Amino acid sequence: MSMAARRTIVGRIDGEILKFTAGDDIKLDLELVEADCIGSAAHATMLSRMKPPVLTPAEARRIVAALVSVMKAHRAGRFRIRLEDQDVHLAVELRLTAMLGDLGRRLHTGRSRNDQVATDLRLYGKAELLGVIEEASLLAESLLDMAARHLKTPMAGRTHLQPAMPATVGLWASAYAESLLDDLEVVAAAYRLNDRNVLGSAAGYGVPLAVDRVLTCRLLGFERPVRNVLHACHTRGKNESVILAALAQLMLTLSRLAEDIIIFVMPEFGYFEYPKEYGTGSSIMPQKVNPDAAELVRAKAAVVAQQAAMACEITRGLPAGYNRDLQEIKKPFMEGLASTRASLRVMTRLVRGLKPNETALRAGFGAGVFATDMALRLVSQGVPFREAYRRVKERLPELKAMDPDEAIAMRTHLGGPARLDIGGMRASAGEWKKFARTRLERYHAAVSNLLGVKYPQLE
């Protein structure tokens, strides 16, 4: 592609400014090549079906075929984005023009780059979010497996890290499973907002052409279009921050689970055996097996939370219409998705590998853990609770330990250690997995239909 062609589009830009404005896009956009080609395929197809059409059906098919070849080239490592291209959009357009000549020069009719990147990020986000949902449901299942295996294994419940009440490994593990299921409701709300078509909003003000936004919506497998074209433009930044805020919730759940693991694998507890092959050693201390992975999850939860705040802040107070500030959100958005997914997978591995040590867990039951049970025993004898509480408190040194198993067996109310609905939660986890898989299949079917080759295989 000649420099001249590029310059027509982007003008002559000072080299340092170009480098600054292109930023990391030329690297990050490599992740968006497929989404960009898919979006362009939908646009080209639409251009051939609008009234009056801008392309003939044959022209549209030629463009789509060229886009598929770009996707293949990309998969083969033969697609580059040069600094002068600025981003994936121009890189693909220039490649098409090199392949198709004037036909390539007609593709951009009625759309803008902002339009494209917004579409790309939504397609990318869609697939990633479905991956998140599946991976979170797998982790929930692993936690439920652990809970089922150790449904009645005693584990002293703590508050303020101090021993508090009789509880079980089952209660502990399934609490995190239910937390993930709640989080998925937040993720699903983000998914639904993301699952909307913005293509056709051009630079945020529409075009004097009869572009068919409902058609591209259907071609791309989105649930429905964003209506107002300026709002379509304004969803950039907001959409990413809604998604990152949802991911931050998953990471919060993981961070607490990670903290528990870090604490309970200390030799002073030994509640869980940390699998050696999941720990890392020290360069100086030969004895060390450290739960680094759990620590990194804890830290990444802070990273994702701040990435959500970053997306919010970059968007805040921008004047109407597109502003370049939004480009800075691409990186935290893509990184936030990637690190949430990696954290989910790693925690699943850790949970599957953790081995509860029942002896150590039982040793954690001092007499104090049963103080409330003692007070409630007095209540059952007619003593007002506050009076019972007072009596137990005054005779703490005389307090005797109860049998943990008996104490646990008495907690039979909904959600208590003796009445965990593991089956019900497993069913919820299964539904989320199905939610993710069916939607991914539908998306692949829509893309296959659009490209005329089986996706994601491209065959």
| Closest among 360, 298, 305, 357 to 332, alpha carbons compared | 305
Are 132 and 246 spatial neighbours (Cβ–Cβ below 8 Å)?
no
Which is nearer to a second copy, 74 or 241 (by Cβ)? 241
| Closest among 142, 32, 18, 133 to 79, alpha carbons compared | 32
Taking the chain, what is the end-to-end CA distance rounded to the nearest angstrom?
28
Which is nearer to a second copy, 264 or 455 (by Cβ)? 264
Provide the CB-side half-sphere exposure for 199 (13 A, CA): 36
- Number of residues in contact with a second copy, rule: CB under 8 A? 193
Least CB distance to a second copy at residue 428 (A):
10
Which residues fall within 8 angstroms of residue 284, CB to CB, at 6 or more apart? none
Least CB distance to a second copy at residue 20 (A):
5
Least CB distance to a second copy at residue 204 (A):
6
Determine the 3-state secondary structure of 130 from DSSP. helix
Which is nearer to a second copy, 70 or 165 (by Cβ)? 165
- Which 152-211 residues touch a second copy, going by CB under 8 A? 157-167, 171-172, 174-179, 182, 185-186, 188-190, 192-193, 200-211
Which is nearer to a second copy, 323 or 448 (by Cβ)? 323
- Which 297-356 residues touch a second copy, going by CB under 8 A? 298-303, 305-310, 312-328, 332, 342, 345-346, 349
Build a one-symbol-per-residue string for 389-418: x at contacts with a second copy by CB under 8 A, - elsewhere: xx-xx--x--x-------x--xxxxxxxx-
Q: Scan for tokens 């802070």, then name that residue.
A: 302
Which is nearer to a second copy, 210 or 445 (by Cβ)? 210
Interior/surface letters 307-329, b for 16+ CB within 10 angstroms, e for the rest: bbebbbebbeeeeeebeeebbbb
Q: Cis (ω within 30 of 0) for the bond into 417? A: no
- Which 115-154 residues touch a second copy, going by CB under 8 A? none
92 alpha-carbon distance from chain centroid? 28
Distance between CA atoms of residues 171 and 178, nearest Å: 10
Q: Which of 10, 73, 148, 453 binds a second copy (CB under 8 A)?
A: 10
Q: Which two tokens stand for residue 287?
A: 């004895």
- Which 63-102 residues touch a second copy, going by CB under 8 A? 86, 89-90, 97, 102
Which amino acid is located at 318 in the chain? L
Which is nearer to a second copy, 67 or 305 (by Cβ)? 305
Q: Which stretch binds a second copy (CB under 8 A): 71-79, 121-129, 251-259, 451-459?
A: 251-259
> Which residues is 290 bridged to in the sheet?
280
Least CB distance to a second copy at residue 35 (A):
17
Q: Which stretch binds a second copy (CB under 8 A): 60-68, 128-136, 384-392, 446-454?
A: 384-392
Radius of gyration of the chain (CA): 28
Are 433 and 140 spatial neighbours (Cβ–Cβ below 8 Å)?
no
Q: Which two tokens stand for residue 121?
A: 């990020």
Q: Which stretch binds a second copy (CB under 8 A): 34-42, 134-142, 379-387, 438-446?
A: 379-387
* Range list of β-strands (E), 285-356: 355-356
Which is nearer to a second copy, 260 or 453 (by Cβ)? 260
Q: Which stretch binds a second copy (CB under 8 A): 65-73, 76-84, 376-384, 436-444?
A: 376-384
Distance between CA atoms of residues 30 and 10, nearest Å: 20
Residue 222 touches a second copy, criterion: CB under 8 A: no
**Backbone dihedral region for residue 400 (phi beyond 0: left; psi -120 to 50: alpha; all else: beta):** beta
Which residues form the catalytic set? 160, 282
Residue 386 touches a second copy, criterion: CB under 8 A: yes
Which is nearer to a second copy, 296 or 453 (by Cβ)? 296
- Which 22-51 residues touch a second copy, going by CB under 8 A? 23
Q: Which two tokens stand for residue 273?
A: 């055996």
- Which 421-450 residues touch a second copy, going by CB under 8 A? 421, 424-425
Residue 223 touches a second copy, criterion: CB under 8 A: no
Residue 228 touches a second copy, criterion: CB under 8 A: yes
Least CB distance to a second copy at residue 343 (A):
8
Residue 56 touches a second copy, criterion: CB under 8 A: no
Least CB distance to a second copy at residue 108 (A):
5
Residue 240 touches a second copy, criterion: CB under 8 A: no
Which residues fall within 8 angstroms of residue 240, CB to CB, at 6 or more apart? 121, 125, 311, 329, 332, 333
Provide the CB-side half-sphere exposure for 402 (13 A, CA): 21
- Which 286-305 residues touch a second copy, going by CB under 8 A? 286-293, 295-296, 298-303, 305
Residue 256 touches a second copy, criterion: CB under 8 A: yes
| Closest among 118, 220, 196, 121 to 451, alpha carbons compared | 220
Which is nearer to a second copy, 65 or 379 (by Cβ)? 379
